[in-house]
Amino acid sequence: MNSAAVGVRPRGGLNAGRLVRRHGWTVGVYVLLLVLVLFWRTIPANWGSFDVQSLAIDALPLAFAAMAQSVVIISGGIDLSVGSLISLVNVLSAKYMVDMSFRNALLFGALLLAGSAAAGAFTGSLTVLSRVPDIVVTLAMLFVWAGVALEILQIPGGGAPPPYLQLGTGHWWSQWIPSGLVILLLGFAIFWLPLRWARPGLALYSVGSNRSAAYLSGVGVARTRILAYALGGLFAGLAGLALTATSGIGDPNAGQYYTLNSVAAAVLGGVALVGGVGGLIGPIAAAFVVTLVKTMLILKGVDQNWAQVIQGSLIIVVVMIGGLAIRRRGRT
């Protein structure tokens, strides 16, 4: 046998077949979203830009939460404190922005983002330095942030200047382009892409894929894991700010919804819980899928409790189909 022959494969810059093979899941989620949208169009009597607008409003915070969760899972961890960190940023912004000018509100938002990134880095450092498993540390932090949020605002209230609310609920250029969608793409392009295509992004994936191989390749494993949590905190901060913009108030319990739904959206979006696999593009679409299914079930007048059963089943079915597809590929 000439073992060098094993390595001989056709070379090609862009290989469409492989693109689908490697990013098949992401493509699949977008196809699922498209199918759901086509179906959704037929339900309300006069479906229009208003419906698109309200979907974007509903999905925006979850999309950011899914990004937060995905970054951490890709690096081989899991962050259960995402939801309560969202609550914390939500109540802080709503409590103090209410009397601010738009300019100050934006500055304050930037400050909160820096703060939530630091909070994420803190959580990450705790689990990295103490070697207590991620799930334990972040569960503890869930309670800590939730408590602080309740201390700041006992009952839902507060608000934000109208131009700030427009960021989440308005539209730009056309009725069909909700401003929230633009903000989402901006957040993705500014905070994720530069990392994804540079060495820190590779490090993030390598740490989640095989920690010892990453270490032996010279990756600073501790630093990278803390970076993942910091980035997760940053996206959670964006989710909190988005929640204020879309709901118009601060609610200390609003974040609960995002704790497990962020995990669901990450998994649905093709992020493997073992780490090292997936991206943020899939989970973003998955956040819209999750939100859209909920919307459609409400429109259809399905009972709230049954709606949850259907949502849960959908996640299992989709992930199962994806898993089967991967296993079949592995066999051939």
Q: Which residues bind another protein (CB under 8 A)?
A: 1-4, 6-11, 15, 18, 22, 199, 202-203, 205-206, 208-210, 212-220, 276-277
Q: Considering the complex, state which of residue 40 and residue 205 has its C-beta at the smaller distance from another protein.
A: 205
Distance of alpha carbon 96 from alpha carbon 159, whole angstroms: 8
Q: Where are the alpha helices (DSSP H) in 192-303?
A: 193-196, 199-209, 211-216, 221-247, 256-268, 281-299
The amino acid at residue 315 is I
Distance of alpha carbon 282 from alpha carbon 36, whole angstroms: 15
Q: Considering the complex, state which of residue 216 and residue 316 has its C-beta at the smaller distance from another protein.
A: 216
Q: Considering the complex, state which of residue 72 and residue 243 has its C-beta at the smaller distance from another protein.
A: 72
Q: Considering the complex, state which of residue 18 and residue 41 has its C-beta at the smaller distance from another protein.
A: 18
What phi and psi values does residue 207 have, to the nearest 5 degrees? -65, -35
Shortest Å distance, C-beta 278 to another protein: 9
Per DSSP, the three-state class of 104 is: helix
Q: Where are the alpha helices (DSSP H) in 98-198?
A: 102-130, 134-152, 162-169, 179-191, 193-196
Tokens of 59: 């999905």
Shortest Å distance, C-beta 161 to another protein: 44
Shortest Å distance, C-beta 317 to another protein: 25
Q: Considering the complex, state which of residue 140 and residue 195 has its C-beta at the smaller distance from another protein.
A: 195
Shortest Å distance, C-beta 191 to another protein: 21
Distance of alpha carbon 206 from alpha carbon 188, whole angstroms: 21
Shortest Å distance, C-beta 71 to another protein: 15
Shortest Å distance, C-beta 201 to another protein: 9
Shortest Å distance, C-beta 226 to another protein: 16
Adjacent-strand bridge partners of 206: none
Q: Considering the complex, state which of residue 234 and residue 267 has its C-beta at the smaller distance from another protein.
A: 267
CA neighbours closer than 13 Å in the CB half-sphere of residue 275: 21
Q: Considering the complex, state which of residue 42 and residue 212 has its C-beta at the smaller distance from another protein.
A: 212
Q: Considering the complex, state which of residue 210 and residue 256 has its C-beta at the smaller distance from another protein.
A: 210
Shortest Å distance, C-beta 318 to another protein: 21
With left for phi above 0 and alpha for psi between -120 and 50, is residue 199 left, alpha or beta? alpha
**Burial of residue 131, with CB atoms counted within 10 A of its CB: 0-12 exposed, 13-18 middle, 19 or more buried:** exposed
Angle, helices 162-169/102-130, rounded to nearest 10 degrees: 60
